[in-house]
Amino acid sequence: MEKQLKIKSLRLESPLILAPLAGYTDLAFRLLCHQFGAGLCYTEMISCHGLVYQKERTLRMTKTISEESPVALQLFGSDPDMMGQAAALVSDMPYDIIDINMGCPVRKVTKKGSGAALMKDSRLAATIISEVCKNTNLPVTVKIRTGWNHDSIVAPEFAKMAEDNGASAIAVHGRTWSQGFGGQVDWQTISRVKKNVSIPVIGNGDVDTYHKAVQLMAKTGCDGIMIGRAALGNPWVFTPEGIPSTLTKRMAGLKRHLEIIQEFNNPDKILPKIRNQAGRYFKGIAGGSSIRRQIYEAKSLDEIIKLAESI
């Protein structure tokens, strides 16, 4: 791809980026998307408290290996001091970028003042960004929404504030908090963000093919595009060829994913999650529903691998 995305001194091979998806963007899935051409992959959101207090579950979520570089760890929290301490800890790990979550709409997160709630408190958000930047030499990115609701589309000013406080790039999901995941993606506001800052801007929302990503970059001036849900069961979304139309080729992609899962996990502990991910490879394809049923009935990862090998 012609477009070059550079975040501080980090030059990405592709401007197409895997979005953070809680419950999905673990090491195995990130590695898979990296192998299929994603220029950068984000972890699931990681609690700054969990990291500072070294909670076992949180530490498990921070697992990374050098082969997946470049990779960004996404932090969430609303306490500037805790966020700074967490940033210092991440800086000692082999991560390339620290991202701050200022877009998550989930009530469990916003009621504690984190995620998208920070878009209502620009001052606190500024303190968090500068505290994180003070505690790391890694580039810091901030992931935001367009605003809290239709009456408060603040993304352009908010992004400028983030830049002024040390952010090296901004990712914008083109929806407000109140929209959740419904309604239209507002690419016009994303374009306005791009015009208002001089750091790279990464557009996000409902992009489901490589070619759509290329078109949107041309249309909005965005420096990169982040892809989330469309990558599930479809790591080919990062390639110009896109998702294959034959079962055999889809099985080959799934098999690669399962092999990576096997390498880094105890599959018995995460079987429901594996079934969920595996079933997604067969959406919208003839014969897919019968395979999905067999996957959901499988009692082990080996059984799913055998199924993948039999097709």
Ligand X SMILES: Cc1cc2nc3c(=O)[nH]c(=O)nc-3n(C[C@H](O)[C@H](O)[C@H](O)COP(=O)(O)O)c2cc1C
The residues carrying an active-site annotation are 104
Q: Alpha carbon 286 to chain centroid distance?
A: 30
Under rule CB under 6 A, residue 38 binds ligand X: no
Q: How far is the CB of 265 from ligand X (least distance, A)?
A: 19
176 HSE (CA, 13 A, CB side): 12
Under rule CB under 6 A, residue 279 binds ligand X: no
Residue 116 vs 251, nearer CB to ligand X: 116
Burial 172-206 (b: 16+ CB within 10 A, else e): bbbbbbbbeeeeebbbebbbbbbebbebbbbbbbb
Residue 70 vs 174, nearer CB to ligand X: 174
Given the rule CB under 6 A, which of 228-236, 246-254, 257-265, 269-277 is the region that contacts ligand X?
228-236
Question: Out of 10, 12, 19, 33, which residue is the one contacting ligand X (CB under 6 A)?
Answer: 19
CB of 18 within 8 A of CB of 44? no
Question: Cis bond leading into 267, ω under 30°?
Answer: no
Given the rule CB under 6 A, which of 21-29, 190-198, 287-295, 297-305 is the region that contacts ligand X?
21-29
Q: Phi, psi (5° rounding) for residue 202? A: -110, 120
Long-range (24+ apart) CB contacts under 8 A made by 285-288 are 285/245, 285/247, 285/250, 286/247, 287/247, 288/247
Long-range (24+ apart) CB contacts under 8 A made by 57-62 are 61/26, 62/90, 62/93
Q: How far is the CB of 19 from ligand X (least distance, A)?
A: 3
Under rule CB under 6 A, residue 161 binds ligand X: no
Question: Out of 5, 104, 125, 251, which residue is the one contacting ligand X (CB under 6 A)?
Answer: 104
Given the rule CB under 6 A, which of 10-18, 159-167, 204-212, 259-267 is the region that contacts ligand X?
204-212
Q: How far is the CB of 74 from ligand X (least distance, A)?
A: 6
Residue 173 vs 280, nearer CB to ligand X: 173
Question: Out of 81, 157, 206, 303, which residue is the one contacting ligand X (CB under 6 A)?
Answer: 206
Residue 141 vs 165, nearer CB to ligand X: 141
Q: 122's torsion region: left (phi>0), alpha (psi -120 to 50) or beta?
A: alpha
Q: Position 171: which residue type?
A: A
Question: Out of 12, 14, 20, 304, which residue is the one contacting ligand X (CB under 6 A)?
Answer: 20
Under rule CB under 6 A, residue 34 binds ligand X: no
In the three-class reduction of DSSP (H, G, I as helix; E, B as strand; rest coil), residue 105 is classed as coil
Binding site for ligand X (CB under 6 A): 19-23, 44-45, 74, 101, 103-104, 143, 173, 204-207, 227-230
